[in-house]
Amino acid sequence: MYSTVHRSDPAFCEPRSTDDDERRGCNYSRNNCTVTIYVSSAKYDLQNNGLAATRRRAVHTMTSTNQRVTGRHVQPIERTDEQSESETEPERERDECPECGAAGVTDEKRGETVCQECGVVLEEDVVDRGPEWRSFDARDKAQKSRVGSPTTEMLHDKGLSSVIDWQNKDANGQTLSAKKREQMSRLRTWDERFRSQSAQDRNLKQALGEIDRMASALGIPKDARETASVIYRRALDEELIPGRSIEAMATGSLYAGARQAGVPRTLDELETVSRVDRKEFARAYRYIARELELAMEPTDPEQYVPRLVSDLDLPEETKQRAIELLDAGKREAVHSGKNPVGLAAAAIYAAGRLTNVDVTQHEVADAADVSAVTIRDRYTELLDADDQVA
């Protein structure tokens, strides 16, 4: 690296003898003090434990004070298409597998980028952009987290507003005084009022609370609750709610969201947790599906199998055999016009007999909330269909 040196001393620009100029390689002028300096830099090369120094000269022209540094004119280098393609090849190699050309998938836990086709490791030691701490339960995670909760459709304000905790304790866990408790109670009241000022916010707050309550009672996962909340928001935006029961529309949205998420629940199950009659929320579901044009496919009996097998505490072998029976029944069109829950219960009972698992018809019927007669009628049909496919 070279530094620009400014010399304003007139003595520096005094001409010297020609011999000195030729020997020093300098050219001085009073008016335009231009100094040509030959700079030597050493390049060291260690070979055979010896030090070989090669010297190269770089010519730099520096001007005195109030003069702009000038130098040799350098032609711009134009990059050709071949050079640009060669520079982008390493980037492509990171994204594409050199063996099969497939795209790579990043494994966050292992810190590796692996080809999704052949499994070749494309990159390793990837920087982990997650938190530096580990948590083993929800409470530990909440204590260590230094950021707020993500936005969610399950709250009327999507979780962006502040919430005052109901516990009357300070940051150190000490109980608040009577005066502070009264103050916090008033603050909570005003906070609730400000969080839901409009009629639409109050409607959403009540409906989403109902959806969360019913989903918790039925064990519906979070993704299905989010879907149900989005469906209800769409119905509210389309002005489908006025003139109808909020509880009925919320129950209908939950039924539709559970079906779209692949964890369907029957109308009988929803009736046990809903605050309205089955006829009313069934009508609300049909109205929502028609007006919002929801793409609701017929319920697959296989979607009920994992939950029923878990409730009956049956082995994995029985579960897989029940799914195979349902696949055979669908190929033979046995499921057409049948109750999907009854078919799933019959498949589980038949699979239990085939895998030598002691399970009765009444146990399966109680878990699936169907009659034992339905199981007896359906499981023979599934066994016949399995024989025909085999």
**CATH class belonging to 152-297:** mainly alpha
Could you tell me the CA-to-CA distances from 304 to 91, 213, 258, 266, 341 in Å, in that order?
46, 22, 12, 10, 7
133 compared with 316, residue with greater pLDDT:
316
Q: CA nearest 249: which of 203, 198, 188? A: 203
Could you tell me the CA-to-CA distances from 60 to 54, 69, 172, 229, 242 in Å, in that order?
19, 9, 68, 72, 83
The answer on pLDDT for 42 being more than 80 is: no
Q: CA nearest 203: which of 162, 226, 236? A: 236
C-alpha 182: how far from its chain's center?
A: 42
Model confidence at 21, pLDDT cuts 50, 70, 90, reads very low
| Residue matched to tokens 């003139």 | 243
- Phi and psi of 14, rounded to 5°? -65, 135
**Residue 294: half-sphere exposure toward Cβ, Cα within 13 Å:** 26
Average pLDDT over residues 65-89: 43
Partner residues linked to 121 by β-bridges: 114
Helix count and strand count (H, E) for the chain: 14, 5
Model confidence at 61, pLDDT cuts 50, 70, 90, reads very low
The answer on pLDDT for 375 being more than 80 is: yes
pLDDT per residue over 259-277, tens digit each? 999 899 999 999 999 999 9
Please report how the helices 372-389 and 340-354 are oriented relative to each other, as an axis angle in degrees rounded to 10.
70
Weakest-pLDDT range from 7-21, 44-58, 199-213, 299-313:
44-58
Sign of the C-alpha dihedral computed for residues 187, 188, 193 and 195 taken in this order = positive
Could you tell me the CA-to-CA distances from 116 to 89, 122, 338 in Å, in that order?
20, 10, 40
Domain(s) labelled CATH 1.10.472.10 in the chain stretch across 152-297, 301-389
Average pLDDT over residues 170-191: 88
Pick the CATH number of 301-389 from 1.10.472.10, 3.30.1490.100, 3.10.129.10, 1.10.30.50: 1.10.472.10
Whether this model's pTM surpasses 0.75 = no
Query: What single string gives the DSSP state of each residue in 300-323?
Result: PGGGGHHHHHHHHT--HHHHHHHH
Provide the pLDDT for residue 18. 44
Could you tell me the CA-to-CA distances from 231 to 98, 205, 259, 299 in Å, in that order?
45, 14, 12, 18
Q: E strands, the chain, where? A: 34-47, 50-63, 104-107, 112-115, 121-123
Query: What single string gives the DSSP state of each residue in 220-283?
Result: --HHHHHHHHHHHHHHHHTT-STTS-HHHHHHHHHHHHHHHTT----HHHHHHH-SS-HHHHHH
